[in-house]
Structure 1
Amino acid sequence: MKVLLIGPAGSGKSLLTRSLGEWLRRGGYSVALVNLDPACGYLPYKPDFDIRSFYDIRKIMRKEKLGPNAAVIRVHELLSNNLEKILPELKIERDFILIDTSGQMELFVFRETGPKIVEALKDAVGIFLVDATLMNPIDLVTLKLMAQVVRLRLNVPVVPVITKVDLVPEINFANSAQLTREIRKQKGSVVDLALALNKSLDGFDIPVRVIKISSKTCEGFGELLSTLYETYCECGDLT
C-alpha cells in the first residue's frame, strides 16, 4: 500500500513517517520510507528514497540565483519534467510505502508534480494531517474540507488525521453529531458556513471520519491502519 502523507508545515508528516513505519515493522510488515521534500534540512528517519539525492536545493539557489521558496518551486518543476528518470526509483516492493511529501503542501497538491506522481504510483491513499494544538470546531470542518480538496486534486481517497493529540486535552468533537453541536456554540459570521459545509461533507460517497493520533505514543495507529484498508473497498464505511 502506498500512503501519501500530506499537510501544512509543522503538522507532523516526517515524524509520523518514522513512527508509523516503526509501528508497522513491529507488526511484521515490510515498510519503505520515501522523502519527497527537497528543502528539509533534517529527517527523523533514514529514507529508502530521498529526492535530495537528485536535487540539491542550495546548489539550485546559487546557480539560478533564487530564494528558498523559488528554489523549492524550481525543484518541483524539474521533478515534474524528469519523472521518467525518478519514478523507477519509487517502485519499491514493500507491504507499505510511506511517502513524506513537501513541507509546502501546495507545491505537491496544487502544482502538476503531485498529480503526476500519484497517477504514476497507482492505488495510493492519502493522509491529510493537521496539528491538534491548532484545532477548534471550525478548524475541524476546514480539515475535512481540505481532505476532500486533496482527494479532488490527486484523485485518491484521503483520510483526515489530527496529529499530536498527546499535547492537548481530549478532542471530543471528532464525529459529525458532536461537531455540529460544538459549531453551534461558536460565534461569528462563519458559523452558518461551517454548519453547511459539514453537512455537505457528510453527504459524499466516502464519508469523512477524522482519526486522532499521536506519533509519540502511537495512539490511534490501529484505527488509522484499519481506515486505510477500508479505503480500498468500495463499501468501506468511514463514518
Structure 2
Amino acid sequence: MQQDHRPLVVLVVGMAGTGKTTLVHRMQHYAMEQNKRAYFMNLDPAVADVPYNANIDIRDTVNYKEVMKQYRLGPNGAIMTALNLFATKFHQAISILEKKENLEWIVVDTPGQIEVFTWSASGQIIGETFAATWPTVLLFVADTTRCASPQTFMSTMLYSSSIMLKQQIPLLLAFNKTDVVSSDAVVLWMKDPDALADAVNSNSGDGNYAGSLVQSLSLFTHGFYESLPVASVSAASGRGMEALEQALEAAKLQYLSDRLPEFKKQEKRRNEERAAASEKMLFAYQRDRVDD
C-alpha cells in the first residue's frame, strides 16, 4: 500500500476517571520528545483546566455556564448543547486544520461524559467529518484497575464495541494505569474466554447470576472483541507510548484499507444522487418553459 502522509485524527474517548485527558497530555509530551508535529483539540466545554496546550478549545467558542443559564439546563444537557453549538461552526476548525502543513497527529480530547460525544448527533457529525477528511481512529481509554473485575471488563468490551459499531471508525483499546495494575490479565481475557471463565469462577464475590451472565456474554461476543487492537499504557509514567504509537499507525492502515474505500463509495453515491436531483430539476424547469 502506498504510504499516506496525511495526519491521523485520534478521537480520544473514555469513561470519566479513566485518565483520558491525562493520556492526551502524555501524548503531547511524547509528540514533543519525538519531534512529531501534532495538533490538539479540546471538546470538553465544562473542564476547568486543561493540562495540555489546546490549539483549538471549545471553551473559546462556547461558554458552558452561559449555556446552562440561558437555556436552563443541567450539567449534561449544557455540555450536549455546547457541543451542538460548536458543531455548527466545525467547518471553521476543519479549514484551520487543512491549512496546517506536515501534521502527523490531530488529537481530539472529547467530553468526560462519554455518551455526550459518542451517542449525540453533534458527536456523530464531528466524527464523520473527520473520517471523511483524514484517516481517523477512536482511542478508547479503559481503566485497567477497574477492568481487573470480570464484570467491569465485560462491560468495557461491550461499550467499546458498541461505540465502534455506531461510529463506523476503527477503534484502538488503550488499557491505562498500567503503572498501578498490570494489563496482562485483561489482555488475556480478550483473547481467551476460558481464562475469563476461570477468573469469574475464582471470584466468589461475583455471585452466580453475575458470573453466569459474564460467561454467557463472553461466549456470544468474544469473536467480536478479540480482534480489537490493544495498547497497554501509563499516562502517568509514559510507559507504553512507543507501543501506542505503533498501534495507532496500524489503526491508520486499517482505516485506509477498510474504511476509506467505503467512504469513497458513499461519496460517489452522494454525488450521483446530487447529479440526478440536479438533472431532475433541470428537466422540470425546461418542461415548465415549454408549457409557458
Rounded Cα–Cα distance in structure 2 between residues aligned with 1:204 and 1:69: 31
1:130 aligns with 2:142: yes
1:55 deviation in Å? Answer: 0.1
The answer to whether residue 200 in structure 2 is matched with residue 183 in structure 1 is yes
| CA deviation map 1:3-47 (0-9, x unaligned) | 011011121111111101211331231111110111101110110
Gaps of 5+ in 1: none
2:232 corresponding residue in structure 1: 212
State how far apart, in whole Å, the 2-side matches of 1:157 and 1:225 are: 15
Once the 2 structures are TM-superposed, how far is the Cα of residue 86 of structure 1 from its aligned partner? Answer: 4.0
Residue in 1 aligned with 2:177? Answer: 164
Q: Does 1:77 align with 2:90?
A: no
Of 12, 23, 27, which aligns to 1:20? Answer: 27
Between Structure 1 and Structure 2, whose CA radius of gyration is higher?
A: 2
- Note closer, same or farther for the CA distance 1:205–1:45 as it changes in structure 2 (3 Å cut): closer
Give the alignment partner of residue 152 of structure 1, picking from 148, 160, 165: 165
2:112 is matched with 103
Give the Å deviation of 1:87.
Answer: 3.4
Aligned pair count reads: 236
- In 2 relative to 1, CA 90–58 (structure 1 residues): closer, same or farther, beyond 3 Å? farther
Q: Which moved more, 1:29-38 or 1:178-187?
A: 178-187
Counterpart of 1:113, as a letter, is S
How many angstroms does 1:169 deviate by?
Answer: 5.7
Paired amino acid for 1:208: L
SS at match of 1:165: coil
Q: In structure 1, what is the equivalent of residue 42 of structure 2?
A: 35
**Percentage identity across paired residues of the two chains:** 25
What CA RMSD, in Å, does the superposition of the two structures yield over aligned residues? 2.4
Shift of 1:96: 0.7
Higher helix share: 2
Look up the SS of the partner of 2:18 in the other structure: coil
1:116 is matched with 125
Deviations 1:145-193 (A, max 9, x none): 2111111121111112221121236652322224343234333213233
Amino acid at match of 1:165: T
Gaps of at least 5 residues in structure 2 are: 1-7, 258-292
Aligned equivalents of 1:220, 1:82: Cα separation in 2: 36
Identify the range of structure 1 (186-195 vs 53-62) with the bigger mean alpha-carbon deviation: 186-195
Distance 1:63 1:102, change over 3 A: same
3-state SS in 2 of match to 1:229: helix
Letter paired with 2:82: V
Q: Match for 2:59 among 41, 52, 57?
A: 52
| Aligned-partner SS, 1:232 | helix
Q: Tell me the residue number matched to 1:88.
A: 95
Q: Which residue of 2 aligns with 1:232?
A: 252
Aligned to 2:70: 63
Q: TM-score, normalization: structure 1?
A: 0.87
